[in-house]
Structure 1
Amino acid sequence: MESLQVIFLALIQGLTEFLPISSSGHLILPAQLLGWEDQGLSFDVAVNTGSLFAVIIYFRTEIVTLTQAWIKSFATGTQTQESKLSWWILLATIPAVIVGFMAKDFIETHLRNTLVIAITTIFFGLLLWVADRMSKAQLNEFQMGWKKALLIGVAQAMALIPGTSRSGATMTAALMLGLTREAAARFSFLMSIPVSCGAALLVTKDLIESPLPIDYQALGLGLVVSFVAAYICIHYFLKFISQIGMTPFVIYRLILGSILLGLLYL
């Protein structure tokens, strides 16, 4: 991959990973529409790892607090709101791990195409709009309970389908379950960490064992660029989400999905 292509794709991933518009879909589209060779899952995970570092560093204080409370709960046998949230994040990770393990090959082979992205972009965009409009918006992330966390985890598993958007699906579910926009976004960001860590470790193992040449320079550049873009995106998304709501992202998804369908059938 040329450096300009790497930077372009990494910027797309970093800016879209935490917005409800599907980073995986945007990474697939350049290859489909511009005739570029598909960058492959390894590059996708490399730039996702950059985004992972961004969310870890941005929420470093919260992560330390949650981890300490989780460890302390074993020693004392008592649960605080922080330790409960830690357990809920882990619980919400389970569906994506199961679906990812069982359906990884099928998704890579059959679902990484423009038609699937167009359909999921429109459908889940409309679902996000409904959730944002109907949300009671009363609960923060410490008040939702394990059942709601598990349901949000199921939504995260559905987002393995390209074009769905992991953050979009999880925030949609959280809004439907009564979380505020800010709480939905924070929980979505925090629950991305275990899944992204697991994916990064698995692909790193595959890269080490692969007999094919690996462009580590491209992977490294992509990781750095996506880290910077994702960090900026997290900051401003959390700053303005309560004011702007989800409607701008819904409109974008509908326009993008319609353009993709037009390119396919006109």
Structure 2
Amino acid sequence: MTLFEIIVLAIIQGITEFLPISSSAHLILPSELLGWTEQGLAFDVAVHVGSLLAVMIYFREDISRMLLAWLQTGFSRKQSDDSKLAWWVILATIPAVVVGFLAKDFIEHYAREALVIAITTIIFGLVLWYADVTGKLHKNIYQLNWKSALIIGLAQALALIPGTSRSGITMTAALMLGLDRQSSARFSFLLSIPVILGAGLLATLDLVKQDAAVDWQALFYGTVLSFVSAYACIYLFLSWISKIGMLPFVIYRLILGAVLLGFVFI
């Protein structure tokens, strides 16, 4: 990859990992539409590390409270708000792990095409708009229960299909369940931590099995740029989402989907 491609792909990963517009779609598109070479496993690991560091540092206080509360209460019946939230993150992660394990090869072979991305981008963009308009938006993050967490987790499993958007579909489910926009986004971001960590570990294991040269400069740039762009994205998104709502992202998804359909059929 050229330095320009490294910069563009790293920033795309950092921004789109947490916006409801699909990071996987945007990382696939440069190779599909511009003829760029695939970024490869090593670079994929690097940008995921950058995104993971960004979300963990931003939510460091929340993570510390949740982890401490979870360790203190364990499986007892007396659970605090933070320990419950930790359990809900664990519970909501399970469906994606199971579906990812069972359907990974199928999705890799049949779902990573521009037409699939275009269709899912449009459909799930409209679903996000519907959830934002019709959701009651009156619950905060600590009012989640195990049923709501499981539903959000099942929705997250759909994000294995490129174009769906992991953050988009989890926020959609949370909004439909009555969470306010800020809480929907915060739970989605917390839920991203085990998912990104798991994906990064799997990619690392695959990378270890490969006997290929590693461009350490590209990995350094990829990690740093994805970290900076992801951190800025999280900060700005949480600052603005209660005011602007999901409509700007829905409009973007519809435009992107239409453009992709144009490339497919023209």
TM-score after normalising by structure 2: 0.96
Determine whether 1:235 maps to 2:235. yes
- Aligned-residue sequence identity (percent) comes to 62
Checking the alignment, whether the CA contact within 8 Å between 2:13 and 2:27 is kept in structure 1 is yes
Letter in 2 for 1:194: P
- Match of residue 90 from structure 1: 90
- Match of residue 257 from structure 2: 257
- Match of residue 170 from structure 1: 170
Q: What is the 5 A alignment of 1:211-250?
A: 211-250=211-250
Task: Give the secondary structure class of the aligned counterpart of 1:241.
Answer: helix
Inter-partner Cα distance in structure 2 for 1:46 and 1:94: 24
Checking the alignment, whether the CA contact within 8 Å between 2:115 and 2:261 is kept in structure 1 is yes
1:235 shift after superposition: 0.3
Letter in 2 for 1:164: T
Unmatched 5+ stretches in structure 1: none
User: Which one is further off, 36-45 or 54-63?
Assistant: 36-45
Unmatched 5+ stretches in structure 2: none
Inter-partner Cα distance in structure 1 for 2:78 and 2:225: 42
Inter-partner Cα distance in structure 2 for 1:211 and 1:65: 41
CA RMSD of aligned residues (A): 1.3
- Match of residue 59 from structure 1: 59
User: Which one is further off, 24-33 or 71-80?
Assistant: 71-80
User: Which one is further off, 255-264 or 217-226?
Assistant: 217-226
Inter-partner Cα distance in structure 2 for 1:106 and 1:216: 31
- Match of residue 137 from structure 1: 137
What do the CA deviations read for 1:122-164 (whole angstroms, capped 9, x no partner)?
Answer: 0000000000000001111110200000110111110011111
User: Which one is further off, 42-51 or 94-103?
Assistant: 42-51
- Match of residue 100 from structure 1: 100
What do the CA deviations read for 1:42-82 (whole angstroms, capped 9, x no partner)?
Answer: 43343122111100000000000000000000286521111
Q: Post-superposition, which runs of at least 4 consecutive aligned residues in structure 1 deviate over 6 A?
A: none
- Match of residue 197 from structure 1: 197
Inter-partner Cα distance in structure 1 for 2:233 and 2:252: 16
TM-score after normalising by structure 1: 0.96
Number of equivalences? 266
Letter in 1 for 2:178: G
Inter-partner Cα distance in structure 2 for 1:28 and 1:168: 17
